[in-house]
Amino acid sequence: MDAVIDRGVGKTTLTVTSNQVSQAGAFNPADLLSVVPAELARILVEVVQTVAAGGTVTIGSMPDELTTTSAADLLGVSRPTLMKLIREEQIPAHKVGTHTRLNTADVLAYRDRLREQQRAAFQDLRDFEEAEDLDY
């Protein structure tokens, strides 16, 4: 599978072809030529590269608000742990009747902060190992 980006004046063209599929006659590769925004082209190239490397890509949309169950799943924590984070005001939430809801943007921002803290802690550990000349 090949991906080619052609950056013309004011537009970006992404062409994706697959010789195996076109040889099978499933589609006409010429029909795949489309003009897309540059940001979308970068995403599509990353998707193609991930799939070509044998990875899996899932594309979907997310609602503006999440239930506590779906937010906990997204964060990879239990629902009681999520409720504790909400009580400690680490993640903002609001009530809809008797139900707790979270803004998707808030959940994703918390996930990004958590990942950054994990990366920093891992880097600190690597720096410590290097400073102490530890080998494993």
This model's pTM is above 0.85: no
pLDDT digits (tens, 9 = 90+) for 86-112: 999 999 999 999 999 999 999 999 999
Residues 36 and 34: their CA atoms lie apart, in Å, by 6
Which residue in 44, 37, 31 sits closest to 4, CA to CA?
Answer: 44
Runs of H (alpha helix) within the chain: 19-23, 38-52, 68-75, 79-87, 104-131
**In the predicted structure, residue 131 carries a pLDDT above the cut 50:** yes
pLDDT digits (tens, 9 = 90+) for 16-28: 555 545 555 556 6
Q: What is the pLDDT of residue 2?
A: 47
What is the CATH number assigned to the segment(s) 65-131? 1.10.1660
- The end-to-end CA distance of the chain, in Å, is 39
Q: What is the pLDDT of residue 19?
A: 53
Q: Where do the structural domains in the chain lie, given as residue ranges?
A: 2-52, 65-131
What's the Cα-to-Cα distance from 114 to each of 51, 92, 117, 118, rounded to whole Å?
27, 15, 5, 6
Q: What is the pLDDT of residue 54?
A: 87
pLDDT digits (tens, 9 = 90+) for 21-60: 555 555 666 666 677 888 888 888 899 898 888 888 877 7
Residues 135 and 24: their CA atoms lie apart, in Å, by 52
Q: What is the pLDDT of residue 108?
A: 94
Q: What is the mean pLDDT of residues 79-84?
A: 98
Phi, psi of 69 (to 5 degrees): -65, -45
User: What residues are paired with 35 via a beta bridge?
Assistant: 13
